[in-house]
């Protein structure tokens, strides 16, 4: 068969490459060689032809006139956004000769890659790039901006990223959507819950903001930010006190139930109600509902773990299903993320052995601003791809200051001249995921999918794999690892007998079927990858790592005396900063807003639609106020990562703290304090 790229017309299978749990199956419609329509694949077993508006409008991004077609070099002052086109030869020559000099003078650790999952394809996100930077001996990046705290927390309880199969939640009777804005961020979980609802299921949403998901719920429970572990401990208190626990399950499958029973006595409902802001009656109703409904499913979101205490919050909530024995019932249990089932051979893909045991330093991506400003052993070159740190990283003014340093040689590989690329010395055009071969493993629905290139490479753009091969060749790296094809790499990654769930997933089965499911089996009866093989309500390992062995509530850090907690969450029509530079998507989202409680707005003389200034010691923003009942007093919520626009102060991360969470060195975007006032020009 002709490769898809050479067929000018037709409908071709694809997969959504965005960092979204749903990882939809897609169909790309081509006419005269151009993709004219992006549609959901109706045959995909989970996503079933439904896709979000963002991706339905993807062609506007693919062929956006602003999309990069050629390499660019800076011709004005740093950050001025003035660039001139150059050839790929000149670009690769410039980078490699600069790096050779830097390595001779300062060693390879003065070079830092910065990347994340702008394209979830595993070859793009953690393939040839990792091989290259390992071989180079560059500083390593700790990629903990997203789910690090929660993953580590969940792991202490459950041993790894293993939750229930979302397809089974069709049988669930009680959904607790906890710190997840699923209508915007996991829409197919909402679709499944809707179907379960027809069979009598109830949906409870626990969030600091009554957003679209809260409005969709049968019962919305507003909670004060960063107090979720206290709520979970209060529920446990009531479950034990009212004998709503499943003792046979606890005896067989858990460690530490007796210790936990004693420990949660201190989290009496009155205390928990004060901490969380949840009325006493509601606390009892929720705990009893949870204790009496089977199967129930707790979908643990990413929002609640972007706090100082986020790891412990997830660790604590993950204990709940064990107390009532949910795990033995189809549709019962919890999920934070399911990446454990589809774990592949990342050693073969990333080749850390190419580092040859050199101990290189590691830099946390959440503290990139600070790292760039470090005077001792400074970072002298930053290579950014598949991420947009100037917009997405916390404490943005510091990031900007770092990027503006004259001595820093910055290269950005992206589809657009992003906020970060504005500060670059060289900008390289990247292909979209539809232009290159890759494989995708969902962290929610347990299917692996393959992408074969569908459209010709746009302009002179190159994929991540191609780019790092070119760089390797020019650096003189001769290892076979830098010669391998996409197909070779996919085969190596899937060759992983350590993970029995991957059994049926091969290059052949993917090429034939487009999506193949993990060989799923129930977690229980069975052994978990915890030290005891059981659910660890009490964890010895946590003591070794310096934590309390039992789930515990610790308040978030008060980082100033300012009166409001600020929650700058994602929005519906962007994906992190992706789409924030496409007119179509901006028009769907309109403008950045600030949600506040109407009592607070009354006290401050702020009316609906007023422009308000929010600020703290890190920075300031000016947004449009939306007073109402959607947040509790003392809480402010914005949505979306809006790009800097002349005359507007809407760079949300100018306000966010860059300290690290209790576990996994994660980001704490939602634990910062601010003040707010009516804005006068
Ligand atoms: N449309 C859209 N979809 C996306 C993304 C996007 O930007 N836009 N981003 C993608 C990515 S990378 C990720 S990680 C996921 C994130 O998606 P989610 O898992 O939904 O996480 P967030 O949207 O960050 O936050 C979820 C909710 O947590 C709430 N929250 C904040 N603090 C607290 C708290 O202390 N307690 C509780 N209970 N709730 C709290 C916020 O108000 C928000 O409604 O979505 C992915 N999908
Ligand atoms: N205030 C606040 N800040 C946040 C969050 C929040 O909730 N609130 N969420 C955080 C979270 S959970 C996350 S995951 C991060 C995400 O932060 P990032 O990983 O930086 O995600 P994006 O903003 O989507 O940027 C991805 C970039 O990759 C580019 N790209 C796409 N495909 C490719 C490719 O194949 N090759 C190359 N070279 N580039 C490509 C896109 O054009 C885009 O510019 O943001 C974090 N920042
Ligand atoms: S962003 Fe999420 S919901 Fe939208 S098409 Fe991609 S995977 Fe599906
Ligand atoms: Mo994320």
Ligand 1 contacts CB of residue 304 (under 6 A)? yes
pLDDT digits (tens, 9 = 90+) for 553-582: 999 999 999 999 999 999 999 999 999 999
CA distances from 420 to 80, 394, 425, 505, 635 (A): 12, 14, 11, 37, 30
Omega prior to 525 cis, within 30 of 0 = yes
Q: Given the DSSP bridges, would you call strands 25-31 and 34-40 parallel, antiparallel or unpaired? A: antiparallel
> Could you write out the DSSP letters of every residue in 410-440?
EEEEESS--TTGGG-SEEEEB--GGGS-EEE
Contact predicate 170/191, CB 8 Å: no
Write down the pLDDT at residue 681.
77
Give distance in angstroms: CA of 618 to centre of ligand 1: 23
The Cα–Cα gap between 252 and 255 comes to 9
Specify which residues 402 forms β-bridges with. none
Within 13 Å, how many C-alpha atoms sit on residue 654's CB side?
20
Write down the pLDDT at residue 551.
98
The Cα–Cα gap between 417 and 68 comes to 7
Write down the pLDDT at residue 227.
98
Ligand 2 contacts CB of residue 416 (under 6 A)? yes
Closest ligand 1 atom, CA of 209? 42
Check residue 555 and report its DSSP letter. Answer: P
Helices (H), 332-384: 346-350, 368-373
Q: Which two tokens stand for residue 120?
A: 């979830």
pLDDT digits (tens, 9 = 90+) for 376-407: 999 999 999 999 999 999 999 999 999 999 99
Q: Which domains does the chain have, with CATH numbers?
A: 4-62 (3.30.200.210), 72-140+349-430+456-484 (3.40.50.740), 149-336+524-544 (3.40.228.10), 564-678 (2.40.40.20)
Ligand 1 contacts CB of residue 430 (under 6 A)? no
How many residues does this entry show for the chain?
681
The radius of gyration of the chain from alpha carbons, rounded to an integer in Å, stands at: 25
Ligand 1: residue of 393, 569, 571, 636 to mutate (most ligand atoms within 8 A of CB) is 569
The Cα–Cα gap between 119 and 578 comes to 11
pLDDT band of residue 471 (cuts 50, 70, 90) is very high
> Could you write out the DSSP letters of every residue in 197-246?
HHTT-EEEEEESB--HHHHHSSEEEE--TT-HHHHHHHHHHHHHHTT-S-
Whether 240 shows a pLDDT value over 90: the answer reads yes
Write down the pLDDT at residue 137.
97
pLDDT band of residue 357 (cuts 50, 70, 90) is confident
Among the bound ligands, the one closest to the CA of 641: 2
Buried b (16+ CB within 10 A) or exposed e, 382-410: bbbbbbbbbbbbbbbebbbebbebeebbb
Specify which residues 517 forms β-bridges with. 447
Write down the pLDDT at residue 470.
98
Looking at every residue in the chain, the average pLDDT score rounds to 97
Percent of the chain with pLDDT over 90: 98
pLDDT digits (tens, 9 = 90+) for 509-523: 999 999 999 999 999
Give distance in angstroms: CA of 19 to centre of ligand 1: 12
Write down the pLDDT at residue 383.
98
Whether 350 shows a pLDDT value over 90: the answer reads yes
pTM for this prediction: 0.98
Among the bound ligands, the one closest to the CA of 145: 2
pLDDT band of residue 1 (cuts 50, 70, 90) is confident
Phi, psi of 508 (to 5 degrees): -65, -50
The Cα–Cα gap between 119 and 60 comes to 18
Q: How many CB atoms lie within 10 A of CB 452?
A: 18
pLDDT digits (tens, 9 = 90+) for 127-137: 999 999 999 99
Ligand 1 contacts CB of residue 109 (under 6 A)? no
The Cα–Cα gap between 464 and 431 comes to 8
pLDDT digits (tens, 9 = 90+) for 581-608: 999 999 999 999 999 999 999 999 999 9
Contact predicate 267/235, CB 8 Å: no
pLDDT digits (tens, 9 = 90+) for 31-67: 999 999 999 999 999 999 999 999 999 999 999 999 9
Q: How many CB atoms lie within 10 A of CB 521?
A: 10
pLDDT band of residue 358 (cuts 50, 70, 90) is confident
Whether 433 shows a pLDDT value over 80: the answer reads yes
Q: Which two tokens stand for residue 508?
A: 């052949």
Omega prior to 495 cis, within 30 of 0 = no
């Amino acid at each position: 068969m002709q490769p898809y790229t050479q067929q000018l017309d037709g409908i071709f299978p694809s997969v959504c490459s965005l960092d979204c749990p749903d990882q939809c199956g897609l169909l790309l419609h081509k006419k005269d060689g151009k993709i004219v329509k992006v549609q959901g694949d109706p045959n995909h077993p989970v996503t079933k032809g439904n896709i979000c508006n963002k991706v339905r409008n993807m062609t506007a991004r693919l062929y956006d006139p602003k999309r990069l077609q050629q390499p660019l070099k800076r011709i004005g002052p740093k950050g001025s956004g003035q660039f001139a086109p150059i050839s790929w030869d000149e670009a690769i020559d410039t980078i490699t000769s600069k790096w050779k000099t830097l390595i001779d003078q300062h060693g390879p650790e003065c070079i830092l890659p910065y990347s994340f999952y702008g394209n979830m394809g595993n070859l793009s996100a953690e393939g040839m790039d990792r091989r290259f930077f390992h071989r180079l001996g560059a500083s390593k990046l700790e990629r903990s901006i997203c789910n690090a705290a929660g993953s580590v927390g969940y792991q202490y309880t459950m041993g790894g990223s293993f939750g229930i199969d979302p397809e089974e939640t069709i049988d669930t009777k009680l959904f607790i959507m906890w710190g997840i804005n699923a209508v915007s961020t996991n829409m197919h979980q909402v679709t499944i819950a809707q179907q379960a609802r027809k069979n009598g299921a109830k949906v409870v949403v626990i969030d600091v903001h009554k957003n679209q998901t809260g409005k969709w719920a049968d019962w919305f429970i507003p909670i004060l930010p960063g107090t979720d572990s206290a709520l979970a401990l209060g529920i446990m208190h009531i479950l034990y006190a009212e004998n709503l626990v499943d003792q046979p399950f606890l005896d067989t499958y858990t460690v530490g139930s007796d210790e936990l029973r004693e420990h949660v006595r201190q989290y009496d409902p009155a205390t928990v109600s004060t901490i969380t802001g949840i009325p006493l009656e509601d606390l009892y109703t929720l705990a009893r509902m949870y204790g009496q409904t089977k199967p129930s499913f707790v979908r643990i979101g990413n929002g609640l773990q972007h706090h100082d205490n986020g790891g412990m919050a997830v660790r604590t909530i993950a204990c709940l299903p064990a107390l009532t024995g949910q795990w033995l019932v189809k549709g019962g249990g919890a999920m934070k993320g399911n990446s454990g089932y589809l774990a592949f051979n990342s050693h073969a893909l990333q080749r850390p052995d190419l580092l040859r045991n050199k101990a290189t330093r590691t830099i946390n991506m959440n503290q990139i601003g600070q790292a760039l400003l470090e005077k001792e052993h400074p970072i002298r070159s930053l290579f950014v791809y598949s991420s947009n740190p100037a917009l997405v990283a916390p404490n943005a003014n510091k990031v900007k200051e770092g990027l503006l340093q004259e001595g820093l040689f910055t290269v950005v590989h992206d589809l657009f001249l992003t906020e970060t690329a504005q500060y670059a010395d060289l900008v390289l055009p990247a292909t979209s995921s539809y232009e290159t071969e890759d494989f995708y493993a969902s962290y929610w629905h347990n299917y692996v999918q393959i992408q074969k290139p569908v459209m010709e490479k746009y302009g002179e753009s190159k994929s991540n794999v191609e780019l790092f091969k070119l760089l390797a060749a020019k650096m003189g790296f001769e290892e076979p690892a830098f010669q391998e094809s996409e197909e070779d790499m996919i085969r190596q990654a899937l060759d992983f007998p350590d993970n029995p769930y991957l059994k049926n997933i091969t290059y052949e089965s993917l090429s034939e079927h487009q999506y193949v499911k993990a060989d799923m089996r129930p977690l229980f009866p069975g052994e978990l990858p915890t030290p005891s093989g059981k659910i660890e309500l009490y964890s010895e390992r946590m003591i070794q790592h310096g934590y309390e062995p039992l789930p515990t509530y610790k308040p978030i850090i008060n980082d100033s005396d300012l009166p409001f907690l600020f929650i700058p969450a994602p929005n519906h029509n962007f994906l992190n900063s992706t789409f924030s530079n496409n007119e179509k998507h901006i028009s769907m989202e309109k403008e950045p807003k600030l949600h506040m409680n109407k009592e607070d707005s009354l006290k401050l003389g702020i009316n609906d639609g007023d422009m308000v200034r929010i600020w703290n010691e890190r920075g300031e923003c000016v947004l449009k106020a939306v007073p109402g009942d959607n947040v509790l007093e003392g809480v402010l919520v914005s949505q979306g990562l809006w790009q800097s626009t002349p005359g507007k102060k809407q760079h949300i991360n100018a306000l966010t703290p860059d300290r690290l969470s209790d576990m996994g060195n994660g980001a704490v975007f939602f634990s910062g304090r601010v003040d707010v006032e009516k804005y006068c020009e």
